[in-house]
Amino acid sequence: MRNAFAVLLALGIGGFAAGGLAGCGFHPLYGDWGATAGTADKLQAIYVEPIPEKLGYELRNNLIDLFDASGRSSDSVYRLRVTLATKSEGIAIQNDAAITRYNDMLTVTYELTDKATNTVVTKGVETGLSAYNVVTSPYATLVAQQDADKRAAEDIAYRIRTDLAVYFAQARKAASRRAK
């Protein structure tokens, strides 16, 4: 009986919170109503161009997965061009001048182009920081660097998806205002 009361109380509070959020103008970004309807469809219609290097490959695959896209150019309405630059900096140095920790700065610049008109509809820059320790084994250090950079690229992919979803939601909202 106690558990049932706890569930009903949680549902009641959850319903109250959802109702309160709806009253303040909150709209789910990936919802299927109002100004955000069709955002997922727009993301699925993006072709991500190949990105050089192993880290670029990881970033591209993350974006395709996050967009839930086919990865084929023929199925797309938009083309996403991404450039990736990395900069490595030693940040922890021992007395014998040996570097024991690195920070890698990943800078990703992207442009979303409408394939039909070949015009850039939005663009942006995302940066990510990954850090790793230098250990006695060069192989272990390399694996640590690759893992840290891979996690930073995944984070950047999430942020690019969010940027593009917000762009599509705002564009749809602006179009619906113009139609009125």
The predicted pLDDT at position 173 comes to 82
Widest pairwise Cα distance in the chain: 70
The b/e string for 135-166 (b: 16+ C-beta within 10 A; e otherwise) is: eeeeeeeeebbeebbbebbbbbbeebbebbbe
Q: Please tell me the class of the 35-179 domain.
A: alpha beta
Please give the pLDDT value at position 85: 93
How confident is the prediction along the chain (180 residues), in pLDDT tens digits per residue?
A: 555 555 444 555 555 455 455 555 555 555 544 444 578 888 988 999 999 999 999 999 999 999 988 777 777 899 999 999 999 898 877 777 788 888 999 999 999 999 999 999 999 999 999 999 998 899 999 999 999 999 999 999 999 999 999 999 888 887 777 776
Q: Please state the domain extents for the chain.
A: 1-30, 35-179
Rounded Cα gap, residues 66 and 84, in angstroms: 18
Beta strands 46-48 and 78-93, pairing class: parallel
Can you tell me which residue has the tokens 């309807």?
37
pLDDT score, position 24: 56
**Residue 122 β-bridge partners:** 112
